[in-house]
Amino acid sequence: MSAGLLGNCVRDVKGLTITQNGNLKRRVRARAAKTGESYTAALQHFRQVPDTPAIRSIRMAVAQTSLFNDPRDTSALHASGAEMRRLMEDAHEAGARLIHFPEGATCSPNKRIMSENGPREIGPSDWTRSEWNVLREELEATRELASKLKLWTVLGSVHQLTSPHRPLTWSERDRSHW
């Protein structure tokens, strides 16, 4: 391919001639020669930085809840939900825009309590005994409060699946889709 044809290709693609930015290129080459920088590094000093919004900070609350380890205990599930929502209100009043709860914030089921063989022997978990409706109600009330407060809320909870699948935590559920 001849140099003239290459020049035409550039001219056709960009609508510019190769020498249109010749002055810029000369200045970049001169800086590179003077400083020992590469052409690309020298070019960065001549390019205008686009206006970027300033990095905004966000106030985040980290909350620790009481341990509730029996998903069959409706009063404990209600207490867990109420505690989370109280902490959300506190975080909101302190100016937080995001609150992070630990895994098992609603309930962290104990393997002995969930064992179908009883508490003395650890066996497969019997999730049919869990109060799923109460847990769903508490999670929905928590979601509604988060929406009302405009507070991003991150929490760990078990997630009911259809039989014969065992419940997953939210993080396990997300990993299962990878």
Residue in the block written with tokens 């019997």: 126
The answer to whether residues 8 and 18 touch, using CB atoms and an 8 Å cutoff, is no
Residue 92 lies in a domain: yes
Same domain, 146 and 75: yes
Residue 122 lies in a domain: yes
Q: Convert the pLDDT of each residue in 91-119 to its tens digit.
A: 999 999 999 999 888 888 888 888 787 77
Q: Is the pLDDT of residue 176 over 60?
A: no
H runs (alpha helix) in the chain: 3-14, 22-35, 39-44, 74-93, 111-114, 132-149, 170-175
Same domain, 35 and 99: no
Same domain, 101 and 148: yes
Q: Which residues constitute the domain of residue 35?
A: 3-44
Domain total in the chain: 2
Residue 154 lies in a domain: yes
Residue 84 lies in a domain: yes
Instruction: Verify cis geometry, omega within 30 degrees of 0, for the bond prior to 71.
Output: no
Q: Give the pTM.
A: 0.60
Question: At 112, which amino acid appears?
Answer: R
Residue 99 lies in a domain: yes
Read off the tokens for 147: 């929406």
